[in-house]
Copies of this chain bind each other. A is one copy, B any other.
């Protein structure tokens, strides 16, 4: 299986990522997350744990591959300072059939949210604070264990 994991400050090109995933595949599902445009949100800054991040993501791609017949998987996660409206994360999965591609893409996103060591710090009206984890993300990840 073709796997691509990138942690980077730069924006990504979703079209190039999809083309890279598609080789011979019938189905490519993707998820792109954006920094929300919220009233007073000025900047989002992302920090991560180099080394562990890549290992955790690779491990979850391996788990996805054990569950579904995937042909390729790509995870690109940005770090550093981002503005509202900017893309922050891209997850893409390729399979022969769409059902598997969708399931694996959602699975990877749920695990990325709850297990990959990234932390967000937001600045609103000049005040900077760390973003709290959401219980809904834990619930989303937990449903794959049933």
Q: Contact size class for A? A: 20 to 34
The answer to whether A34 touches B28, judged by C-beta atoms less than 8 angstroms apart, is yes
Query: Residue A53 at the B interface, CB < 8 A?
Result: no
Interface of A is mostly: mixed
Assembly CA distance A36 to B106 (angstroms): 23
Q: Which residues of B are found within 8 Å of A27, using beta-carbon distances?
A: 31-34
The answer to whether B101 touches A31, judged by C-beta atoms less than 8 angstroms apart, is yes
Q: Which residues of B are found within 8 Å of A18, using beta-carbon distances?
A: 14, 30, 32, 87
Which A residues are closer than 8 A to B by beta carbons? Answer: 13-16, 18, 22-34, 36-37, 85, 87, 96, 98-99, 101-102, 105-106, 109, 140
Assembly CA distance A78 to B125 (angstroms): 46
Task: With A14-B14, A24-B85, A87-B22 as known contacts, state yes or no: A31 contacts B96, CB within 8 Å.
Answer: no
A14, A32, A105: residue with the most chain B Cβ atoms closer than 10 Å = A32
The answer to whether B30 touches A30, judged by C-beta atoms less than 8 angstroms apart, is yes
